[in-house]
Each structure stands twice: as C-alpha cells, then as structure tokens.
Structure 1
Amino acid sequence: MVRVAVVGGGFAGLIFAREMASTGLRVDLYEEHGRVGMPEHCTGIVSERTVNTIGREARETIIDSYDSLEIRFRGETLAVLDVGTVYRLDRVRLEELLLESLMSLGGRAQLGKRVHSVGIEGSVKAGGSEARYDAVILADGAHGELHRMLDLGYRGDYYYGLNILVPGKRESTILVDFILDRGLAFTWDVPTVGSVSVAGAMGTLAGVKRFFEVLKPRAFKVYGGRIPAGPPAERLRRGRVYVVGDAGGLVKPLSGGGLYPNAKAAKLAASLIKRGLDVGEALEKSLSIVSHELRAQHAVARLVYGTRVLETISRAVGGAPLRLRLDYDTHHQLVISTLSQVGALSSQRLAAAALRGGGLEAPLSLVKVLYHSSASAYKRLASGRLPGV
C-alpha cells in the first residue's frame, strides 16, 4: 500500500491528509501540538465554492454569512461588491472535524509528536523513530524549519495579520479599508454573532501593533500570525517531499487567505490519483496549477500595494462608489472589473499610475493583469501615449 506522511496539523496539512486518505492511501499525520486548531490565527472568511470544496466539515462550522463587501481607501468608499454569499467558519472546530474525518478514513494521527527531520527520499524522523513513505507532504507553516532544511518552500517577505474581537453591530457587510501607509496594508471589520466584530489589520509588525494599541481598550480577544506576501515558492518539490500551506506560500496574495488555494490543490490531487496518477505526479500537477493561479493574483497585489492605482480609482470614482460583482476567490477579476467600469480615460490613468508609482515590477504586474482581461481592454490600455496623472 502507498504510504503518505503529512507533517503539520494546521488546515493545509489536514485537508491534504484527508484527501489523500479518501483515495485509499495510508496516511500518517504528525503534529507537534497535543490538539489541532490551535493557536488561532485566521479570520476564516471563505466563499461558497470553498465551503463546497472542503465539504461537510466546513458546512458544519459556519458561524456567519455575508452578502457584500465594502471596499474603502483611507476611509472613502470606492466600491460595494456583490460577493454572492461568503461565510465565516469556526476555524478551530473545522480542523477538529477534518482530523475526525481523516481517522474515519483509516488515517493515523500522531499528536504531540515533533518531527525532527525529513529526508528527500521520504524518511521522517520523530520521537526517536524513523519511518519511510512514498510521499511526504510538508505543512510546517510560516515558522517551520523542516522545509528550510531541505531548501524548499517560501523564502519571500511576510506580512503580519491580527484579529481583534471588539464590540460591534450585527450587519451583513464586511468592511475592508486599504490604508497603504504607516505599515498597514489594509484593515477589516467583520460583524459576527452576539454584537461582536472581528476587527483586524494586515501589514508590518510595527503597523499592526499600532493598530492594536488603538483598539486595545475595547479588545477582549486577540490572535494572529505571519502571512506570506507571495508569490508561491518556485520550488515546492524535492525528491518525495512536497511543500504546501504557508510553508509554500500558498495563500491569496491580496488577502493572505490560505483555505481556498490549499483546499483546491488537495482536492485536485485526490481527483488525479483517482484517475490513475501516482501520488507524486498528482501532487506535483495540482500544486503547479494552483501556484500559477496565485501568481496571477500576485500581479494584482503588486499593483494595489506598490503603486498609486487606488488613489487614481478614488479620483475617478469621485464620491460615487462602484457597484461590482466579485468572485471572492479570484481577486484579479476585481481589478479587471474596475478598469472596465471607470471608463477608457480613467483606465489609461490607472495604467499610468501603475507605471509611475510601482517601480520596476509595476509594468510586469500590469501586463499580467491585462493578460487576464478582454482583448478590447488590452488594446485600449496598451495603445498610444498614457496621459499624465
């Protein structure tokens, strides 16, 4: 029987472990903590697509639902987005249920067992013993040393994400405010049950600390952690070892969310195994597909965080917020929709803002975004002179 080890019992490790076990493979999960789901660090907002991809465990852990997303730039509303329905999940319970599902499928969980080393030939050393596997899935997180020891996984920059539970109002709209100043990328306010809101911020460590100091008098719970800024690692495989989750930079670059890309990659790998691919081929192919998608989204993140695009959109909107539909899982479509909504001249100004404000990487990011847009939009932006901003 084909044997697979999964090192790390966070969401990425658990979803890959469950999906591998669902194909009939023998799966061993190693987790250094005595329980899964802790420490908390994620807001847990996902699309209906992601809920369906994860399955029963996600549906049974839905806490709240929302139908719109209000996008602001330094307090001014730029757009109100129809996102269909998105959900907030109980992340701790979600991971507990995924563990239960893994074990019901015949998987084994070794909780409280720290892995000391992993070999590219498939060896795993933990607790004074060594075992060999046909594939090892490393999900040791943003702070993990195991993937670094193998010269694998994410090596880029990090943001810090912070969630703060504060008194709030019950609403159905999530607020996201792009700050792009003083170490803050953006902040959010997610209303939830019991007149409580999850206020949060993503940015540098100093930036999120300043944000916390403002809300500290009202805070009654705080959690968070490091978030890869992206794009995904160039190298996610070495020998029989595959890196997933934060360890591989498999997060949405604009928001830092990791549930969608890892659920998609795990589900895809399982479907390929069921079609006859061996576990190594399936993992490599699924990770390649999802990484490519995340790289396209990273181009959008570079435009938003590294240029003057939002300032230009703000001027083009002129106090009349755009109303757009957004696929919550594909952020690059938001920029494309905005380009088409603000009109040809403003679109040219957006391009000029990107080129002027984003340094050497901005032109490449703009090309990548345009690659995903319509031919007419491409021709409009790529032709002729760009006016001043």
Structure 2
Amino acid sequence: MAKVAVVGGGFAGLVFARELASLGLTIELYEEHGRVGMPEHCTGIVSGRTVDIIGREARETILDSYNSLEIRFRGRTIALLDVGGVYRLDRVRLEDLLLESLRSLGGRVLLRTRVESVGSDGAVRTNGGEARYDAVILADGVHGSLHRRLGIGYMGSHHYGLNILVPGGGESAIMVDFRLEGGVAFSWEVPSSRGFSVAGAMGTLEGVKRYYESLGTRALKVYGGRIPAGPPAEMLWEGRVFVVGDAGGLVKPLSGGGLYPNAKAAKLAASFIRRGLDVVDALAGSLSIVSDELRAQYAVARLVYGTRVLESISRAIGDTPLRLKLDYDTHHQLLLSTLAQAGPLPSLKLIAAALKGGGVEAPLSLLKILYHSTVSTYRRLAAFTLSKV
C-alpha cells in the first residue's frame, strides 16, 4: 500500500489526507504548529455541492444558509442571482473535524513538526531525520518556502482579503459590491442569524486597510491574509511532489475561495485510485483537471477586474437588475449563464457592453473561457479513459 506524506495541516492538506486515508493508504501529516485551523482567514462560503464533496465534516459545521446573491457595481445592484443552497461554514471547526477523521482512519499526525526540506524523489526531512514516501502532497500555504525551493507551485501576485465581524445580522442575500477603485476589487457582506454580519474586502493591502478604517469602531473581530490572484501554477508537481491549496494557486480567482477546488481535486484523486491508478498518476490527473477549470475562472476574473466591462454592463441593463441562476462554484460559467438566461436582445447588449468595456482584452478572455472549458472537458474524458485501461 502506498505511503504518502502531507506537509501542511490547513484545509487543503487535511482534505487530501482524509480522502487518501479513507482508501487505506498510509498517511503521515506534518504540521509545524500545535493545532490546525489557525490562524483563521476565510469567510467560509461554499455551495451545497462543495458541502457534499467534503461530507460529514462540512455538514456538521454549517452556521448559516443562503439562497440568493446580490451583485452590485459601485453601490448599484446589477444582478440578483439564485444560487440555490449556499452555506457559511465554521472553518476552524471544519479543520478540527477533518483532523479527527484522519486520525480515526489510521492517519499519523505529527504536530509541532517542522519540515526542513522536501525532495522530488519523495524524501521529507525534519530536524528529527528523513523519511521517504511514494508521494508527497505539499500544502505549505501562500507564504511557504518549500514549494518555492523546488521551483513549483504558485509564484504570482497576491490580493489581500480581510474579514470583519460587525454587529447586526438577519437572514437575507449575500451582497457583493465590485468597486474596482481605491485599492478594493470588491467588498462583501454576509449576514448571519447569530446577531452579526461578516463584512470584508479584497484588494491591495492599503485598500483593505482603508476599508477597515471606514467601518470605524464597529469591528467585533478581524481576520484575513494574502490570497493568490491566479491563475494556478503551471507546474504543480515535480517527480513525486505535488503542490495543493494556496501554495499551488488552487483558489477561485474571482473570489479567492479554496474549499471547492481542493475538495474536488482530493475527491478526484481518490476516485482515480479506486479505478486502479497509482497515487502519482491519480494526483497528477486530478490536479490537471481542477487547474484547467480554475484557469477558465481566471479568464472571467481578468474580464471583470482588468477592464471596464462592469461599468458598460451596468449602463446596458438599465434600471432593472438581471435575475439569473448561478452555480456558485463555477464562476467561469457566470458570463455564459448570463447570456443564456437574459434572452436574445439583452444578450446582444451584454456582448456589446463586454466588448466595449473590455477593449482588446475582452475577446481574448472570452476565447480563454471557451478554450479552457473545452480542454478541461477533454482532460476529464482522457483521465477517465486512462483509469479504465
């Protein structure tokens, strides 16, 4: 049976460790801190599909649920999205439960154990010695030096995300406001039935600081950190070492969320192993599929953040917001979903607005969306076919 090391006890490392341990593989998790789940840095918003992928641990940590998402542009509502079931999870407890599951499945957990280096041959070195593995899953985070020394994983630019608990809650839509000014790409407000809301912003460090200061003394709690700006790294593995989580840029570029892509990649890897692939081929196949999907999402993010497309669309739709359905996990379908559901005349207006607002960048982004969606589909088929050989 394969022996796998997982370096890093954040969500990505834990969900891969749990999935592979459930297959009976020998799993050893290295975490340099004395516990998992800290420091907290994520709002914890996921779809029902992601809850199902993660499983029991996610279902037991649901704090609030939502059915609608209000999209604003500089304070003006441009779309009301039916997102089905979307949930806010207790991220700290989620990681604690994943750790408990890993242990119950026979996984070995080495807390307060710092990994000094990782070799592409599967060698993991700590101050206590060296061990060799059939595969190493490197989840050393956005600040991690281990993946950088190997020359793999995410090396690109970053956003900063800030979450702020403020008094006042209730049950209503999640609100996202694309500002694209003052160093803030977008802000959000997620109401809770527990007497507070989670407000936040993503952008430059100076921008999110100004956003925080604009709330005055209302903050009950503040947490956050750096988020990869995408797309995922081109090189996600070398030899027997695979990079996941923020360390690989495996986040949704439009929002910075990492729960869906990493849970999906872990589940895919486990399914490939069940079909007969070895752990190295299974990890490579799953990361290829998910990273292609994220690159399609990145094309949407570039279209939104790098152009004036939202301003043009805001003018094009007039005073009546679009009312659409959206799969919360697959942001790269947002534009295609908009065109499909808006009707022929509004669709033509939206296409014209996108081209006008985006300049030469918009057609390129649209082509990238279609290209990466197609490539991802073919890779899924190829991986499934390979698994049957």
TM-score normalised over the length of structure 2: 0.92
> How many pairs are equivalent?
374
Amino acid aligned to 1:42: C
Match of 2:183 in 1: 183
Task: Name the CA distance, whole Å, in 1 between partners of 2:351 and 2:260.
Answer: 29
Match of 1:242 in 2: 242
Q: Describe the superposition over 1:67-109 as per-residue Cα deviations: whole angstroms up to 9, x where unpaired.
A: 1000100000011111111110000000000000001111011
Amino acid aligned to 1:43: T
Whether contact under 8 Å (1:232, 1:250) holds in the other structure is yes
Match of 2:161 in 1: 161
Task: Name the CA distance, whole Å, in 1 between partners of 2:351 and 2:84.
Answer: 29
Moved over 2 A (4+): 337-363, 368-374
Task: Name the CA distance, whole Å, in 1 between partners of 2:373 and 2:6.
Answer: 38
Amino acid aligned to 1:19: E
Whether contact under 8 Å (2:250, 2:294) holds in the other structure is yes
Alignment of 1:55-204 (within 5 A): 55-204=55-204
Task: Name the CA distance, whole Å, in 2 between partners of 1:239 and 1:106.
Answer: 26
Task: Name the CA distance, whole Å, in 2 between partners of 1:21 and 1:200.
Answer: 36
Following superposition, the deviation at residue 340 of structure 1 comes to 4.0
Following superposition, the deviation at residue 339 of structure 1 comes to 2.9
Task: Name the CA distance, whole Å, in 2 between partners of 1:288 and 1:83.
Answer: 27
Match of 1:383 in 2: none
Residue 113 of structure 1 aligns to a residue whose secondary structure is coil
1:36 equivalent to 2:31? Answer no
Whether contact under 8 Å (2:162, 2:223) holds in the other structure is yes
Task: Name the CA distance, whole Å, in 1 between partners of 2:88 and 2:341.
Answer: 29
Q: 1:79 to 1:89 in 2, by over 3 A?
A: same
Q: 1:373 to 1:337 in 2, by over 3 A?
A: farther
Q: 1:107 to 1:368 in 2, by over 3 A?
A: same
Amino acid aligned to 2:121: E
Following superposition, the deviation at residue 334 of structure 1 comes to 1.7
Q: Describe the superposition over 1:321-378 as per-residue Cα deviations: whole angstroms up to 9, x where unpaired.
A: 111000001112221122345555664554455455546643321212355899xxxx
Match of 2:260 in 1: 260
Whether contact under 8 Å (1:354, 1:366) holds in the other structure is no
Match of 1:336 in 2: 336
Task: Name the CA distance, whole Å, in 2 between partners of 1:370 and 1:108.
Answer: 43
Structure 1 gap ranges (5+):
375-389
Amino acid aligned to 1:337: S
Alignment of 1:287-306 (within 5 A): 287-306=287-306
Whether contact under 8 Å (1:306, 1:357) holds in the other structure is no
Whether contact under 8 Å (1:163, 1:201) holds in the other structure is yes
Amino acid aligned to 1:135: A
Residue 218 of structure 1 aligns to a residue whose secondary structure is coil
Alignment of 1:368-387 (within 5 A): 368-370=368-370
Task: Name the CA distance, whole Å, in 2 between partners of 1:49 and 1:161.
Answer: 24
1:220 equivalent to 2:241? Answer no
Q: Describe the superposition over 1:212-238 as per-residue Cα deviations: whole angstroms up to 9, x where unpaired.
A: 111141001000011111111000010
Match of 2:379 in 1: none
Structure 2 gap ranges (5+):
375-389
Amino acid aligned to 1:4: V
> Percent of aligned pairs with the same residue?
75
Amino acid aligned to 2:127: G
Residue 189 of structure 1 aligns to a residue whose secondary structure is strand
